[in-house]
Amino acid sequence: LNFPGGVVQFTPELKFLHGFSDDRINCYRVLGDDGQLVSTNFVQINKETALKMYRDMVTLQVMDTIFYEAQRQGRISFYLTTNGEEAINIASAAALKSEDFVFPQYREAGVLLWRGFTLQEFANQCFGNKHDNGKGRQMPAHYGSKEHNYFTVASTVATQIPHAVGAAYSLKMEGKDACTVTYFGDGGTSTGDFHAAMNFAAVMEVPVILVCRNNGWAISTPVCDQFRSDGIVVKGPAYGVGSIRVDGNDALAVYAAVDAARKVAVSESRPILIEALTYRAGHHTTSDDSSRYRPMEEMEWWRESQNPVARFRKWLQGQGWWSGQHETHHRDSARQQVLDAIQVAEQTEKPGLEEMVTDVYDAVPSDLRRQFMSVKTASPNIHPRDYP
- Point out the residues that are catalytic: 280, 284, 293
Q: Phi and psi for 286 in degrees, rounded to 5?
A: -70, -10
CA separation for the pair 43, 204 (Å, rounded):
29
Q: Which of 166, 148, 171 is nearest to 93 (CA)?
A: 148
CA separation for the pair 136, 128 (Å, rounded):
4
Q: Which of 224, 228, 263 is nearest to 242 (CA)?
A: 263
CA separation for the pair 313, 317 (Å, rounded):
6
